[in-house]
Chains A and B, each alone.
Chain A
Amino acid sequence: MTDPRHSPKKPSKALGFVPGLLKGMATTARTLGRPSHTAEYPDVQPQLPPRTRGVIALLEENCTNCMLCARECPDWCIYIDSHKETLPATTEGGRERQRNVLDRFAIDFSLCMFCGICIEVCPFDALHWTPEFEYAELDIRDLLHEKSRLGQWMATVPPPPALDPHSAQAQEIVAANKPPRAAPEARA
């Protein structure tokens, strides 16, 4: 058994701590020569990656008031009010149609924990992440963003990442390129 204290790799006792001291000075000198890591935030805007979870934007046209987001929200910070509206028949003797109208859509960012579950569960892509983060308020009640404010965030949503090569086309493009349905006159 060899005593590890006498292994040959141990630095010589004569030099002792001197190499360590010099190394410390060399490291600090090297850091002095390099640019600093400081992000000068209020003066220089940060370069945030596109998937940054800054704030949630609402595309009101896509929302069907299905309430999935509100029900999945772990801390129930989404408020949705809606009512049904009856649309008169467009043709003589036709059926009246009903549609949902969104009265209120609000996210309370003082409760939100930015888990993104609402965005994941939305079947119609009505909710989007945006990297904007400068919406601090002096009054906590102002962190409740109503749908008009949530809609304003839409302008800051970054474009979706490009598809992989040879992947299937996006569903929207497939749908847009489908030939139109036969005109109703043909059946008459």
Chain B
Amino acid sequence: MNPGLELTLRLVIVLAAFVVMSLVVGQTEHKVMAHMQGRLGPMYAGGYHGWAQLVADAVKFLQKEDITPAAADRRVFHIAPGVALAPYLVAFAVIPISSTWVGADVPASALFVLAAGAVGILGVLMAGWSSANKYALLGGIRAAAQLLSYELPMVLAVSSVALAAGSVSLTGIVDAWSPIWLLWQLPGAIVFLIAAVAELKRTPFDMPVAEPEIVMGPLTEYTGLRFAFFMLSEYAGIVVMSLLFTVLFLGGWHGPFSDALGPLWTLLKSAFVSVLIIWLRVAWPRLREDQLQRLAWLVLVPLALAQLALTAVWVVLSSQ
């Protein structure tokens, strides 16, 4: 195939899958959260059980006035939503759905995903800094502090898996995966899941946008399409983190009939993880800022280090 055509085709497919999966996760959050609270959630948009609610929301956001505060740093303020969303798209592109279904096959894709995901933080920090609003600034600083402390256990958990597989490529990690990993890498998996929820700034780690304290944090001054971008990046983040968790810890496309149903297994497992992340939001209260730092440095980092040591010992012993 013509390389230019293939590139365009891949871009379009990745972009479409990214948007569709993010919207599906968003809609799932609406409905699952509603039913967990004894409500029905959206029921009208689109006719059947409000399936088109997020599309309707997007149309509404399009019509809204795009306000930039007078004192804001206009340039930074305007590009911040893009900086928050784009890294997830980049990360999504290199996560394999099956051994052949991958947007871009990068050799060190585990590293690449972590690096790209960390850039997303920058968007939130830019938004908080440029809004010329004390709540936004507080939220931005909280986000930065949170992401700094949770990036470390996350990287440690991923490095444990990479060490076990002997590869920093996500495809290589899944190929080396076997069901015993579920038990052996369990502490790492828990650490990764908690750190992922914290990276996504979702309850119970949503101090950066804690509504009762700091209005909407870095998003306070945003309206219309730019605000919608931030919301989309939250759902996109869930998609990316769920896929990453599936690939790293749940064996990706491994499962019965994995030759034919491989991609389906990956999507099914990551759907399960997404619902789990949504479930945590519904069930749990928000942590305080100091509790959050305490959890990261006193629980997650030691746990991740212990997991790393365990993996190292196992790898050394089994290679002899």
Size of the chain B interface, CB-CB below 8 angstroms:
14
Whether B35 and A40, one on each chain, are in contact in the complex, defined by CB atoms closer than 8 angstroms, is no
Minimum CB–CB distance for B237 against chain A, Å: 21
Whether B34 and A28, one on each chain, are in contact in the complex, defined by CB atoms closer than 8 angstroms, is no
Whether A27 and B283, one on each chain, are in contact in the complex, defined by CB atoms closer than 8 angstroms, is yes
Whether A28 and B282, one on each chain, are in contact in the complex, defined by CB atoms closer than 8 angstroms, is yes
Collect the chain B residues with CB atoms within 8 Å of residue A25's CB.
279-280, 283-284
Collect the chain A residues with CB atoms within 8 Å of residue B39's CB.
36-38
Collect the chain B residues with CB atoms within 8 Å of residue A28's CB.
36-37, 279, 282-283
- Beta-carbon nearest neighbor of B34 in chain A: A36
- Beta-carbon nearest neighbor of B35 in chain A: A32
Collect the chain A residues with CB atoms within 8 Å of residue B279's CB.
25, 28-29
B32 within 8 A of partner (CB): yes
Contact with A along B269-282 (1 / 0, CB 8 A): 00000000001101
B43 within 8 A of partner (CB): yes
Minimum CB–CB distance for A6 against chain B, Å: 24
For chain B residues 148-165, which have a beta carbon within 8 Å of chain A?
A: none
A115 within 8 A of partner (CB): no
For chain B residues 272-320, which have a beta carbon within 8 Å of chain A?
A: 279-280, 282-284
B4 within 8 A of partner (CB): no
Minimum CB–CB distance for A105 against chain B, Å: 41
Size of the chain A interface, CB-CB below 8 angstroms:
13
Minimum CB–CB distance for B196 against chain A, Å: 17
B40 within 8 A of partner (CB): yes
A74 within 8 A of partner (CB): no
Collect the chain B residues with CB atoms within 8 Å of residue A40's CB.
40, 43
> With the chains together, A40 CA to B32 CA distance in Å?
18
Collect the chain B residues with CB atoms within 8 Å of residue A31's CB.
35-38
For chain B residues 16-34, which have a beta carbon within 8 Å of chain A?
A: 32, 34
Minimum CB–CB distance for A13 against chain B, Å: 14
> With the chains together, A29 CA to B280 CA distance in Å?
11
**B38 touches which of A21, A24, A29, A34 (Cβ 8 Å):** A34
Minimum CB–CB distance for A188 against chain B, Å: 77
> With the chains together, A32 CA to B283 CA distance in Å?
11
- Beta-carbon nearest neighbor of B31 in chain A: A32
> With the chains together, A58 CA to B318 CA distance in Å?
91
Whether A24 and B35, one on each chain, are in contact in the complex, defined by CB atoms closer than 8 angstroms, is no
Minimum CB–CB distance for A38 against chain B, Å: 4
> With the chains together, A27 CA to B280 CA distance in Å?
12
> With the chains together, A68 CA to B283 CA distance in Å?
57
> With the chains together, A108 CA to B35 CA distance in Å?
41
Minimum CB–CB distance for B280 against chain A, Å: 8
> With the chains together, A36 CA to B32 CA distance in Å?
11
Whether B284 and A36, one on each chain, are in contact in the complex, defined by CB atoms closer than 8 angstroms, is no
Minimum CB–CB distance for A40 against chain B, Å: 7
Contact with B along A13-35 (1 / 0, CB 8 A): 00000000100110111011010
Collect the chain A residues with CB atoms within 8 Å of residue B34's CB.
36
> With the chains together, A50 CA to B283 CA distance in Å?
39
Collect the chain A residues with CB atoms within 8 Å of residue B37's CB.
28, 31
> With the chains together, A27 CA to B38 CA distance in Å?
11
Contact with A along B91-114 (1 / 0, CB 8 A): 000000000000000000000000
Whether A38 and B283, one on each chain, are in contact in the complex, defined by CB atoms closer than 8 angstroms, is no
Known contacts A31-B35, A32-B32, A32-B35; A24/B284 CB under 8 A: yes
> With the chains together, A85 CA to B282 CA distance in Å?
71
> With the chains together, A24 CA to B280 CA distance in Å?
9
> With the chains together, A24 CA to B39 CA distance in Å?
17
Collect the chain A residues with CB atoms within 8 Å of residue B35's CB.
31-32, 36
Collect the chain B residues with CB atoms within 8 Å of residue A29's CB.
36, 279
Minimum CB–CB distance for A46 against chain B, Å: 15
Known contacts A21-B283, A21-B284, A24-B284; A38/B36 CB under 8 A: no
> With the chains together, A29 CA to B276 CA distance in Å?
11
Minimum CB–CB distance for A33 against chain B, Å: 9
- Beta-carbon nearest neighbor of B281 in chain A: A28
- Beta-carbon nearest neighbor of A39 in chain B: B40
Whether B32 and A38, one on each chain, are in contact in the complex, defined by CB atoms closer than 8 angstroms, is no
> With the chains together, A40 CA to B39 CA distance in Å?
10
> With the chains together, A31 CA to B39 CA distance in Å?
9
13 A-B interface contacts by CB (under 8 A): A25-B279, A25-B283, A28-B36, A28-B282, A29-B36, A31-B36, A31-B37, A31-B38, A32-B32, A34-B38, A36-B34, A36-B35, A38-B40
- Interface, chain B (partner A; CB < 8 A): 32, 34-40, 43, 279-280, 282-284
